[in-house]
Each structure stands twice: as C-alpha cells, then as structure tokens.
Amino acid sequence: MSAEQRTPVSFSVAKADDPHMQPKARNPKRTEALLALVMLLGIASLIGFIVAYFMNAESWIMGAFMGAGALLLGFGITAWGKYLMPQGPFVEERHRMSGTPDQRARFKAAVVQRGGGILGRRKVLAGLAAAGMGIFGLLALVPVIRSFGPLPENTLGVTQWKRGTKLVDSTGRGIHVNDVAVGGVVTVFPEGMVNTDNGQAVDQTILIRLTTQDFTTRPGRESWGPAGYVAYSKLCTHLGCPVGLYEQQLQLLVCPCHQSMFNVANGAEPTFGPAPRPLPQLALYVDDEGYLRAQAPYDQPVGPGYWTRS
C-alpha cells in the first residue's frame, strides 16, 4: 500500500513498527551514505568558495562554488526529508483555542469597567491626543499648499541654442563646412555647453549632410540648410529617445525605442511609428571662417509633448 492511500495517524500515538513510521528508501543505510556524500561535497564546495574568494578568483568560479554548495546541501536536506524520514501521512489534532467562560467574563469586566475609569482620569491628555490626531489628518493638505514647487515657466520650451551659436561635436571641435561628406552625420552641441551641467540632453542635435547644394526641407526654410547641411533636434517627439539611426539611402532617421521614422528630406516629417510631430529643425548658416552656426534658437520646443503641448 503506497503512502498516499494510507489513513493518516497521529504522530504521537504511532508505534515504532507502524508502516507510517518507515522511511521510503528501500535501503536506508545506503541512502544515508549517499546523502552524506552529497552534503560533504556541498560543504567542500562552500569551502572552495572561501578559498576562491581569498585567491581573487573570477566571479563565475566563486559563483559556481557557491551555487554548487547551496544546491548540493539543499538536495541533501530535501532528500533526507523525502526518503529517510517516516513517510506518514500524519495528522495532529488542533488544541482548543478559546478561553474558558470564566476567563472571558473576567476580561470583559476589566475592559468595560476599569478601562473607562482609567482613561477618564487623564482628561487633558485624552483631549490633546484627539486634537493631535485631527491635525495629523490635515497634513495631507500641506503638499497642496507648499511643496508643488515653482511652475516650470518656459524652461521646457527653450534650449541653449541661440542666434549665432557655433555647432561643435562631442569633443568641442567646430564643424567646418568641408568636414562632412555627403551622406555623413555628426551629433552636435552648442559651443561651450559640452561637458557642463547645462542641458546637453535637450541640446543634442543631429547634423546631416544631404547634398553639396543649399537644401530646403519645406517652404519657408529656404536658408536653413546651407551647403546641404540640415540639423534636427535629436530628441524623439514621442518620448525623447535619441533619434540617432540615420539611413542615408532611405533618407530616414529611425528612433531606436519605438521605431518612429522621420523623413530628413522633408522637414523630418514622421512617416511611421508613434511620433506625433516632426523633429524641430535648427536653422544654420556658414560663418566667415567656414564654420556652421545656428541662425536662431529652435522655433518650437524640442522633445516629447507635455501638459501645455500635446
């Protein structure tokens, strides 16, 4: 008869020769020796971890020792319980949980009669405690009154790009009009802002050379793309990821986060994906020394929408 089909007995009354008290293992001595070996190996692994730690071994070696030790010991303990302990099943009667009627009557008397008297003796403290609890409830109003901070004003709508700001790469080097070949791309920042605390994340702009001729991306932007250079904000208008994946034959900028695609030849109009607006374009000009500069700040906020801009 297998253990599952037996009637459960109480552990406290089971005799030593009861079938419930027998282990599952057919040869308990051999199983015990085997499990002892397993646990010894586990202990050896843990000692191996200590040794490896002091020898500055690689982390995967230490991890292997630690993992093997935990696994072998865990296996040994579980197998001990499964195969060498009495297999039962056993039941244990639950003892009585409620008190006697007499105990319950005395407790009730203590709470109702003496408790009220004890509280009534300290009227001032009781009143103060009640007032304190009431004021505690008012704390919920404090952030509404004080802690929401100043309004962001238009800080979300502006960047460090000003009229005449020079375009520089991540090392601070200016971009000469002859530097970038057709089909080339550089991530540029406003000069003087690289490696400072001033919003580089919102300033990052992707500069692409589409051709050698002046390039107009859409009506009204005739002067924005001198010598085929066009510059767009690198922040996706969806959630602000850096739109850095430029495909020169497809003329697409791809956002790595949600696969929005922007047509760079057409004012970065989104052609696919969740982006709601074109990337803002930065108007450029070539200065007397041949370096690229911004004609004006961005004509609209960069990056994703916010509560006053959807």
Partner 1 sequence: MATTSLSRRLLLPVLILVVTVLSAVVVFGEGSKSSTSSSPVLIASTVNSANAQTILSNAIPPAAYQTGRANSGAANSSLKVFSNGKLVAYGNKNITYVAPPSSLNTIGEALYMQNCASCHGNNADGVPANGTPGAYPNLRGLGPATIDFWIETGRMPAADPTSVQAPSRIARLNSNQAVAIAAWINSLAPATPYIPIVHNVSGADHAAGFDLFALNCAACHTITGGGDMLAKGTYAPTLRNVAPTQIVEAIRTGPGNMPRFTGNLTDAQVRDIVAYVSNNIEHPANPGGIGLGGLGPVGEGFVALAVGMGVLLLIAFWIGDRA
- Cβ of residue 291: shortest distance to partner 1, in angstroms? 12
- Cβ of residue 58: shortest distance to partner 1, in angstroms? 8
Element (H, E) at 282: strand 281-282
For residues 20 and 90, the answer to whether their CB atoms sit within 8 Å is yes
Give φ, ψ of 113 to 5 degrees. Answer: -85, -55
Per the listing, tokens 């004021």 go with 135
Residue 180 contacts partner 1 per CB under 8 A: yes
- Cβ of residue 53: shortest distance to partner 1, in angstroms? 17
From 10, 259, 266, 300, residue interacting with partner 1 (rule: CB under 8 A): 259
Residue 7 contacts partner 1 per CB under 8 A: no
251 vs 296 by CB, closer to partner 1? 251
Span 80-99, contacts to partner 1 by CB under 8 A:
82-83, 87
Tokens of 266: 């057409």
Tokens of 246: 């430029």
CA 53 to chain centre: 31
Secondary structure letter of residue 82 according to DSSP:
I
CA angle 274/279/281 to nearest 5° reads 170
Angle, helices 59-79 vs 28-54, to 10°: value is 160
From 27, 78, 213, 308, residue interacting with partner 1 (rule: CB under 8 A): 78
Residue 28 to residues 37, 84, 87, Cα–Cα distance (Å): 14, 6, 13
Span 195-224, contacts to partner 1 by CB under 8 A:
208, 211
- Cβ of residue 28: shortest distance to partner 1, in angstroms? 13
Task: Kindly give, in sequence order, each residue whose CB lies less than 8 Å from that of residue 299, ignoring residues fewer than 6 positions away.
Answer: 280, 283
Residue 252 contacts partner 1 per CB under 8 A: yes
176 vs 309 by CB, closer to partner 1? 176
Residue 281 contacts partner 1 per CB under 8 A: no
Residue 210 to residues 81, 137, 227, 256, 285, Cα–Cα distance (Å): 74, 63, 9, 22, 15
- Cβ of residue 129: shortest distance to partner 1, in angstroms? 50
88 vs 199 by CB, closer to partner 1? 88
How many angstroms separate the CA atoms of 279 and 111, rounded?
Answer: 72
For residues 253 and 280, the answer to whether their CB atoms sit within 8 Å is no
Residue 307 contacts partner 1 per CB under 8 A: no
Beta-strand relationship, 281-282 and 229-233: antiparallel
Residue 269 contacts partner 1 per CB under 8 A: no
Residue 242 contacts partner 1 per CB under 8 A: yes
From 124, 138, 145, 181, residue interacting with partner 1 (rule: CB under 8 A): 181
Residue 185 contacts partner 1 per CB under 8 A: yes
Residue 56 contacts partner 1 per CB under 8 A: no
175 vs 202 by CB, closer to partner 1? 175
- Cβ of residue 18: shortest distance to partner 1, in angstroms? 16
Residue 152 to residues 161, 199, 238, Cα–Cα distance (Å): 19, 15, 20
Span 16-45, contacts to partner 1 by CB under 8 A:
24
- Quickly count: other Cβ atoms within 10 Å of residue 29's Cβ: 8
From 202, 236, 254, 294, residue interacting with partner 1 (rule: CB under 8 A): 254
Binding site for partner 1 (CB under 8 A): 2-4, 24, 58-60, 78, 82-83, 87, 169-170, 173, 175-176, 178-187, 208, 211, 242, 244-250, 252, 254, 256, 259, 261, 272
